[in-house]
Amino acid sequence: MNVIQKIEPLRTRLKSQKLAGETLALVPTMGALHEGHLALVRRARDVADRVVVSIFVNPLQFGPQEDFARYPRDLAHDVQLLADLGVDTVFAPTVEDMYPLGNSWTRVEVTTMSTVLCGRTRPTHFAGVTTVVSKLFNLVQPDFAVFGEKDWQQLSIIRRMVADLNFPVTIIGVPTVREADGLAKSSRNQYLSPEDRLRAPALYRGLQQAQSLYQAGERQVEALIQAARGIMEEAGIDPEYLEIVDPVTLEPMPTPLDRPARMATAARVGGARLIDNIGLG
């Protein structure tokens, strides 16, 4: 496995693989890898001859008061995990490598979808995500790119960006990997105190309660939302948002629901901002 920091050596290595007729899958990450990331890598191995994993904590997707400086970083541990999975290339650039002219003046933004859900409190976040993912697509030129369904909004936005800009890449979503008690695996879970860690699974339990009601025939949006909210509030969790949206466009769903939907939520639990979602139908 090659660990590459600079852009030109990356391009040289990947060009030779392309010339050999090999397919490439990209797994973009910010490092601090856990089993959720490794599931993405395994899926990438299933669909392509070669796998490239990027590890880059992207400053563009952090707001001024967010956790860019303290975001967990452990490149040596990440590299060992990826080597054990047979990853071919790890691209681990510095901020200077990715933004050599300093603060990027160019942004790639999927406008409407980036202003709802998490975008209301993180107004610059998704433009940072789509800008860096566009750069990675340009550098790697993958046939496939693999993302987790835990951040459904991000996955939907990237799919729309690929369609709008005609990127020749197939986007693959991988179901959320969870702890035994249902908490979605996340690098930010390590911010949770022991007490908050006990409360955090209520986020998913609330979503499951709504899903169970939906499966039993409930189609009123407010009833489903109140059922989920009640479980969360019992654990002392006040959701930042809790909404039922169209899985593709992220637009609010009408009531009663007449087609499959996605329930999405975010909440501060102690020192961690957690996100989760679940399918309805």
Q: Which residues are catalytically annotated?
A: 37
Does domain 187-276 sit in CATH 3.30.1300.10?
Answer: yes
* Alpha helices, DSSP H, located in 21-151: 35-47, 75-84, 95-98, 125-140
pLDDT digits (tens, 9 = 90+) for 213-260: 999 999 999 999 999 999 999 999 999 999 999 999 999 999 999 999
pLDDT digits (tens, 9 = 90+) for 26-83: 999 999 999 999 999 999 999 999 999 999 999 999 999 899 999 999 999 999 999 9
Looking at residue 146, its pLDDT comes to: 98
172-223 pLDDT, tens per residue? 999 999 999 999 999 999 999 999 999 999 999 999 999 999 999 999 999 9
Residue 59: per-residue pLDDT: 96
**The model scores a pTM over 0.95:** yes
d(CA 114, CA 274): 18
**Helix H or strand E segment including 27:** strand 24-29
pLDDT value at 103 more than 90: no
Instruction: Please indicate if the annotation marks 96 as binding a ligand.
Output: no
Average pLDDT, the chain: 97
Architecture of the CATH domain 2-174: 3-Layer(aba) Sandwich (3.40)
**Beta partners for 178?**
184
Task: State the sign of the Cα–Cα–Cα–Cα dihedral 104, 107, 108, 113.
Answer: positive
Is 148 annotated in a binding site? The answer is yes
Please determine, for residue 271, whether its predicted confidence score (pLDDT) is greater than 90: yes
Partners of residue 252 on adjacent β-strands: 245
Domain chopping of the chain, boundaries: 2-174, 187-276
The answer to whether 65 is annotated as binding is no
Lookup: tokens for 108:
């790639």
**Residue 31, marked binder:** yes
Determine contact, residues 91/55, Cβ cutoff 8 Å: yes
Contacts of residue 116, defined as CB under 8 A and 6 or more positions apart, other chains included, come to 153, 245, 250, 251
